[in-house]
Structure 1
Amino acid sequence: MDIMTLLAIIISSSIMAAAPLIFTALGGVFSERSGIVNIGLEGLMVIGAFSAIIFNLGTSHIFGAATPWVSILFAMLIAGVFSLLHGLASITFRADQVVSGVAINFLALGLSIFLVKKIYGKAQTEMILTNIRKIDIPVLSKIPIIGKLFFSNVSYVAYVSIILSFVVWYILFKTPFGLRLRAVGEHPMAADTMGINVTLMRYIGVFLSGVLGGAGGAVYSQSITLDFSYSTITGQGFMALAAMIFGKWHPLGAMGAALFFGFAQSLSIVGSRIPFLENVPSVFLLIAPYVLTILALAGFIGRADAPKALGQPYIKGKR
């Protein structure tokens, strides 16, 4: 295998594996920039994956080739609504945000498996036939060298996630909405004094985390696992959370970290096809993403300052 082919395999697999993490990490950025800790990203991915697969299986005869895209939109809506449970507990009732996020994770997995058993009589759905396929991006894939490395054997949704990172950066740092969202996460009392509805902005942040977390789960289930079971989402939400922290709560930093973790995940998928990794026991390749995540957070993140009001319930008029 020549070096160009080897690099093309690694890069395309890394970008595909990173896409669900990018979507979910961006959702986490919205939530935590508004001041709400969201440990429940894993659960939001679970709900997104479940919703997308169920919708895909039930409507593929209606939407045809567009089914995966419509399924992503459906999963975004369902996960967005589901995330409001976390908002209700954390914002309205001022419950411990970490505990609420953990509860969301357990509830999402338990509810989805219960519904799958009710619908299919077993704990696993059928395989979807209409999925997110790898393609060569028209025109761009023809560019010498770069085209083969970055635009061949990938999916459109992977590049949508990268473009979205820049869109989220612009929204957060270049628009009045982004300024308000960051303000309620840094100093909610000052924001309230300036007439910003702190409760509403935090609900919007949590809702957007659900929307993007659902997209991440939908992309993962429709491009990698192609079905839904209790093990479809196993740690990807926590890796997205780590990417958000590793990226220092910045959309572009989160994207870069997600690409790094995507590379780590791709090793477990394509490692057997890479000459210098083909003899490495598969168990080491499977645990590599999680080991690299721990090492990245423990040794290379440097000083990471979270939003100052992160995790602090806001009571109007109380310091």
Structure 2
Amino acid sequence: MEILDTLLNPAFWTAVLRIATPLILGTLGVLWCERAGVLNLGIEGIMVAGAFAGWLAVYSGLPLWGGVAVAALTGAAFGLLHAALTVGLALSQHVAGLGITMLATALSYYGYRVSFPKVNTPPTVEPFATMDWLPIPILSAQTPMTLLALLLVPVAAWVLYRTPVGLAVRMVGENPQAAEGQGISVAATRTGAIVAGSALMGIAGSFLTLSAFNAFFFNMINGRGWICVALVVFASWRPGKALLGALLFAFFDALQLRLQQSGGAALPYQMYLMLPYVLSILALVLVARKAAYPQALMKPYRKGER
């Protein structure tokens, strides 16, 4: 009965959408990279860097949307580095991505310590306000960044399936030799997709410091980047299903928080923490078997090679 009351409570669905927002943005970022044939395991570190850079920019005096732009540029910069390693030098995408994660995370933590050497409590900024002017209760309790994430889903689908740019991205992810034969630059297309996807990852990180919270603290990303990588597989590399996957994980996460609050000592809290991950893994296993992945994913390409 308690679960039913929870599911009928608008506050629960408000929390679901709030938890899903960085996952939507991050999953779209991973999707763009992988549609072009490049696995970007740098997302965890890029989200950390975006969270820190956006927050520091706002703390230094920029407006909130200026902080989001700084986070996007920070993500794009790390994306460009990732592209140079994986596309330009054709290095291992796994190793390069993990290296980007460690580099971006370390630089962010170092930058925080240098900027605030004697501060024990993280300084705060004024975050985005909720959109009280909207007539839909669940949306009105969100910030503009959630609305941005929701709008980017149909935009990404339209660009991917209805524009020459999207066709080029899908071609280099499926058959780069055929794309080259049509006069498409595989290196430029993959680089552009990685930079754009990494910019979305940076924005995903900035949501946590400029919308969900009002400060930057260590370990705040807490594995969300890795969840986004899994959600892309769950979504079969489609933006619409990526939205559903992010909402599904957020639903389980919000539910376990409510169960912790109402469950008392019936179960160890670790059991509740496991719930969203276990259920998401089960859903991933069921869906991934039939997923049609990009055929050139994780395969380095050198111009002229067959």
TM-score by structure 2 length? Answer: 0.91
Whole-Å Cα distance in 2 between the matches of residues 176 and 17 of structure 1?
33
* Partner SS for 1:204: helix
For these two proteins, the number of residue pairs brought into alignment is: 304
Whole-Å Cα distance in 2 between the matches of residues 270 and 136 of structure 1?
25
Amino acid at match of 2:273: L
Whole-Å Cα distance in 1 between the matches of residues 195 and 113 of structure 2?
28
Superposed, 1:70-85 pairs within 5 Å as 70-85=66-81
Quote how far apart the aligned CAs of 1:170 are: 0.2
2:48·2:105 contact (CA, 8 Å) conserved in 1?
A: yes
* Partner SS for 1:230: coil
Q: Which residue of 1 aligns with 2:17?
A: 15
1:190–1:221 Cα change, 3 Å: same
1:125·1:228 contact (CA, 8 Å) conserved in 2?
A: no
Quote how far apart the aligned CAs of 1:270 are: 4.6
1:166–1:277 Cα change, 3 Å: farther
Amino acid at match of 2:171: A
Q: Which residue of 2 aligns with 1:29?
A: 31
Quote how far apart the aligned CAs of 1:293 are: 2.7
Whole-Å Cα distance in 2 between the matches of residues 276 and 152 of structure 1?
30
Q: Which residue of 2 aligns with 1:189?
A: 177
Flag structure 2 segments of 5+ consecutive residues without an equivalent: none
1:268·1:282 contact (CA, 8 Å) conserved in 2?
A: no
2:78 counterpart of 1:90: no
Q: CA RMSD in A?
A: 2.3
Quote how far apart the aligned CAs of 1:260 are: 1.0
Q: Which residue of 2 aligns with 1:254?
A: 242
Whole-Å Cα distance in 2 between the matches of residues 126 and 289 of structure 1?
29
Amino acid at match of 1:128: T
The farther-off stretch of 299-308 and 184-193 is: 299-308
Superposed, 1:112-123 pairs within 5 Å as 112-121=108-117
Give identity over the alignment, percent.
Answer: 31
2:55·2:125 contact (CA, 8 Å) conserved in 1?
A: no
1:124·1:229 contact (CA, 8 Å) conserved in 2?
A: no
Amino acid at match of 1:163: L
2:37·2:297 contact (CA, 8 Å) conserved in 1?
A: yes
String of CA shifts for 1:30-63, please: whole Å, max 9, x gaps.
111111111111111111111111112111xxx5
2:125·2:215 contact (CA, 8 Å) conserved in 1?
A: no
Q: Which residue of 2 aligns with 1:306?
A: 293
Q: Which residue of 2 aligns with 1:205?
A: 193
Q: Which residue of 2 aligns with 1:224?
A: 212
Quote how far apart the aligned CAs of 1:91 are: 0.4
TM-score by structure 1 length? Answer: 0.88
1:302–1:194 Cα change, 3 Å: same
Quote how far apart the aligned CAs of 1:72 are: 1.0
2:49·2:71 contact (CA, 8 Å) conserved in 1?
A: yes
1:23·1:213 contact (CA, 8 Å) conserved in 2?
A: yes
String of CA shifts for 1:11-41, please: whole Å, max 9, x gaps.
1101011111101110111111111111111
2:95 counterpart of 1:130: no
Q: Which residue of 1 aligns with 2:48?
A: 46
* Partner SS for 1:151: helix
Whole-Å Cα distance in 2 between the matches of residues 157 and 85 of structure 1?
26
1:47–1:123 Cα change, 3 Å: farther
Q: Which runs of 4 or more aligned residues in structure 1 lie more than 6 Å from their structure 2 counterparts after TM superposition?
A: 276-279
* Partner SS for 1:313: coil
Flag structure 1 segments of 5+ consecutive residues without an equivalent: 142-147
1:12·1:152 contact (CA, 8 Å) conserved in 2?
A: no
Quote how far apart the aligned CAs of 1:295 are: 2.1
Quote how far apart the aligned CAs of 1:134 are: 3.4
The farther-off stretch of 153-162 and 261-270 is: 261-270
Quote how far apart the aligned CAs of 1:173 are: 0.2
1:34–1:318 Cα change, 3 Å: same
1:242·1:293 contact (CA, 8 Å) conserved in 2?
A: no
2:122·2:217 contact (CA, 8 Å) conserved in 1?
A: no
Quote how far apart the aligned CAs of 1:278 are: 9.3
Q: Which residue of 1 aligns with 2:271?
A: 284
* Partner SS for 1:226: coil
